[in-house]
A = this chain, B = another copy of it.
Amino acid sequence: MPTISDVARAAGVSMSTVSYVLSGRRPISAETQARVKAAIAELGYHPHAGARALASSRTSVLALVVPLRVDVSVPVIMQFVTAVVTAARTYNHDVLLLTKDEGTAGLERVAGATMVDALIVMDVERDDVRIPALGRLKQPSVLVGLPDDAAGIACVDLDFAATAAECLRHLAGHGHRRIALVGPSPAVYERGTTYASRFLTGFTDAAAELGLETVAHPCGPGPAGVRECLAAIDAELPEVSALVVHNEEALPPLLEELRTRGRRVPADLSIVAVCPRDVAVGLPVRLTSADIPAHDVGTLAVETAMNLLDGRRTPGTRLLPPTIVERDSCSSRD
């Protein structure tokens, strides 16, 4: 492995000149630059990451903390992760992957060892113990989600309250007046991931504003969970004409259950789902949906982290606006 001084010798310049060519932190004449670059190419020189980190205290690595086995849907996580890795690369950064189950220890380890320049943390809970830990680190961090108290840490997420409102507005626009929310599993609410309650609040508020009759009910896993949820809805508010489904896992068994009951979508019952695009189009009925823009959120998280690193001031919280895509699961009510 050639070192910077090999390059310097080959190009007939000093080490520092090579370094400045690479970093662009001082002006170097065009010809010198050319010679240095030629030498670099010829020798196949790669700067040693450790040495660079030691000398500059910058690593060009971002930590990304992902949930392991959660109720957050796997495709969404995957989309988010690839968006982060891809976006990080455009800033010449790499991504170190941590799992949530390491808790604060993982954060402290990689930050304490100066392995990363910044951290991006997914699946943040209402009162996440990691938030105070992140506050103590010398590296900046970005939360994906919206805790009760972000303690000054940057947050990015989809605006779930606005998304719920938009779903209702869409259905109301099609003439629906009695609408039920099929929510995430009870476990999600208990765990304190706030997207569930933000969606619910947005749903309730918008319903009041639009003068709609609504119920909301969580939905446990599997066909049994779906049946239970539908029964609860039916008991509280009979004859709803539309469903807002904020639960990806429930979608397949829900459609199956409706089919066996002979309720046609959208003829008898309209549905707006909250899910990523590919889920919406991959089911028996192509669902009208509010998109979960995992890709955009991931990209935004990286951009935010980079701004933080550059010392640029950043808004504390950035919530992405919802997008409803009309497909085949929503019909007009007379």
Contacts and interface: CB of A to CB of B under 8 A. Distances in A.
A129 B49 CA distance: 25
Given A85-B98, A97-B96, A252-B252, A114 B54 contact: no
A64 B94 contact: no
Number of copies: 2
Nearest to A94: B96
B53 A112 contact: no
A122 to B, nearest CB: 13
Contacts of A321: none
A152 to B, nearest CB: 21
B49 A113 contact: yes
A96 to B, nearest CB: 6
Contacts of A85: 97-99
Interface stretch (A16-24, A40-48, A178-186): A40-48
A50 interface: yes
A95 interface: yes
Contacts of A113: 46-49
A231 to B, nearest CB: 20
Contact of A46 (B61, B97, B109): B109
A308 to B, nearest CB: 19
B44 A49 contact: no
Given A51-B54, A53-B49, A114-B49, A97 B109 contact: no
Interface in A42-98: 44, 46-54, 59, 61, 64, 68-69, 74-75, 77-78, 81-82, 85-86, 89, 94-98
A149 interface: no
A102 interface: yes
Contact of A54 (B54, B59, B77, B89): B54
B97 A110 contact: no
Contacts of A97: 64, 81, 85, 94-97
Nearest to A223: B284
Contact of A115 (B74, B94, B102, B108): B94
B94 A98 contact: yes
Contacts of A82: 68-69, 99
Nearest to A252: B252
Interface string A96-127: 11110010000011101111000000000000
10 contacts: A46-B108, A46-B113, A49-B59, A49-B113, A50-B50, A69-B82, A85-B98, A85-B99, A252-B252, A256-B284
Interface of A: 1, 44, 46-54, 59, 61, 64, 68-69, 74-75, 77-78, 81-82, 85-86, 89, 94-99, 102, 108-110, 112-115, 138, 252, 256, 284
